[in-house]
Structure 1
Amino acid sequence: MIEWNAATIKDFQHTLLDWYDQEGRDLPWRHDHEPYHVWVSEIMLQQTQVQTVIPYYERFMDWFPTVADLANAPEARLLKAWEGLGYYSRVRNMQRCAQQLLADYDGQWPQTAAGLEALVGIGPYTAGAIASIAFNQPVPAVDGNAYRVFSRLLKIDDDIAKPQTRQVFEQAITRIMPHDRPGDFNQAIMDLGSSYMTARQPDTAHSPVKRFNQAYLDGQELAYPVKTKKPRPKPVAYVAVLAQMGDQWLMVQRPSTGMLGNLWTVPLIKVDELDLEEDASTADLLAAVTAYFKREYRLILTAKMLKLRPVTHTFTHQKWTIQLIGGQVQPADLAYFAGKGVLLAELDQLPMPKVQEKIFNRANVH
């Protein structure tokens, strides 16, 4: 790892911040330094592109303009606000954090990174972002952008997949960060990492900090950051049953714990749970699904295979491949069914995960 002297650090600070003052992105959560706004935007931006987040952020602020509004929101509306962003545990933790702020902090945000990390769902990166942007604390916000930018600038070859590497970067960035504008510095690094210093197609030849980028100058830019590969997501086969009872669609609410907790989907059945032989035919599959409905839900299903491509959806640890089955259910009491019948016009009122949107889109249910 390269260590800059004081003159280089000062030169880099001025170069980066002058560029940020002129070219920094105009984003709705940057219009003030309100910690609530910083926090919501940073949680939303995890795993999601900026342009995707903007309308979600604006709607979230319209629905929950204050910490108290978020703390007291009904869960269904909370999940609806988050629909499509994925990782629904994040928004549940946000509500728990808002409730914690009201109950234990009189609605006031801690102003240090250490204090912020004591809140539910706030880790080192988010704490650093809030502390630096909202409270002018000189602490780094180390995310994927920071890893990429500083590993290339300083040729840091520590494996960023290892938890202990964060401390290496935090120490290196703390040496370089200006104490008068730490929030702008962190946001400038975010902008740099998403523009000139992207992962696969960087444009360092036009970067404002090109002369500081040692990996680029050495012709090794794409070798940084160093990161061991994660194991591939485990393949899991499902069938999705698009069943109607009269003019209602049968929708299941997922359990509160586990993947997609409390969200609504059509019945999703793991193929492994249907006890099919390896050479099972389509007729065997339909018979197994019909038997499942009778056994688990006490419902008589007339099933048919929909001649549509399977839906695929990848989570962090699993990749789902979902065959689509249609059918009609004989009118009956839904006492044993883990959901309810929903009219087509009412479907969009249910909080649904992205994978369910894909299923309805593939089957042209609108």
Structure 2
Amino acid sequence: MSRRRATAGLLAAAALTGCGGEAPEPPLPAATSPAAEPVRIAAGPTGQTAVLAHVYAGRLREAGFDASVVDAGTDRADYLGALERGDVEVAADYSGNLYLYLRGRAPVEPATATATDGTTPTPTPTPTPSPEAEDGGLAEDLSELLGLGEERADADDVLAGVRDVLPEGLQVLEPAPAENTVAVVVTRPTAVEHGLTDLEDLGPVCAELALGTDLDFAGRSYGPEGLEDAYECMPGRLVPFGEQADLVDALLEDRVQAAALFTASPAIEDNALVVLADPLNNFVPQRVLPVAAEDLPDGAADVVDALSAQIGTEDLVLMTRMTSARDPYTPEEAARYWLEGGDDT
């Protein structure tokens, strides 16, 4: 039995719950010249960006470009250096993490990357923090880094910040609606019991609940300090976990009543968890953001921009599900599946 047939049930379940798999296909901008124009795409810093790289390559080839995916390393310094040297022309990243990296701060990623959290098995290396960096977290509040004063940063602020600090010779293309940011989630019974839809609802009952987190949460600016400042939310207990699977089990067994998870985690959909909205932007925005060389052909940029508009968070969930299954798809196989609209042939 082929792996595609063996995993058909998993993907069918994803489709039934609204998880991507049917990528719209807008008209493709045509290449400005015959298929001679090479476009090399870096696999990027995570497993999700590796799938996205193959998605970009597939759609660019459909448009007539000679597109390929190359391994430029999972360290952001590696792929940015490859872009600056002209070794690659495009890479996908996450807006918040890219901004924090470029400012010399620690990106918002789990201390231990696992197959279920959408990252590669080896955590992305981070730059050496600047002297004023705080131990275990962001050096300063994100809004302070962006020069916003007491106003909290939203996704557009972070995008503008990336543009301001991006190395010379590079550009950012249109961000996708897709995001993979930290969020507080609860089970549906807990949401109903306390009337929870967003973090403002959580504030008044926060002291009654235990919050499960990854190992770094307590030291982040959006952690306990951020929740208290934005929402007057002071969890009764903060319970750190080294593995996402253990954290999810604790939530389902009511050993913790809320959990901080990444929004593109399949565990949210698989367990019908409720993601509490963050109206005051406590958490760092993490939109999927293509980074490109300034000399990328305009036609290629148009193709990637059109494609980005079609990639939502549910598509990241599907990509993560496929590449982290017991018998995982490769990033190239997952990208082909998505590009073919989920047709399991």
Q: TM-score range by the shorter chain?
A: under 0.3
| Structure with max Cα Rg | 1
Query: TM-score under structure 2 normalisation?
Result: 0.23
Greater relative contact order structure (CA < 8 Å, 6+ sep): 2
Query: TM-score under structure 1 normalisation?
Result: 0.22
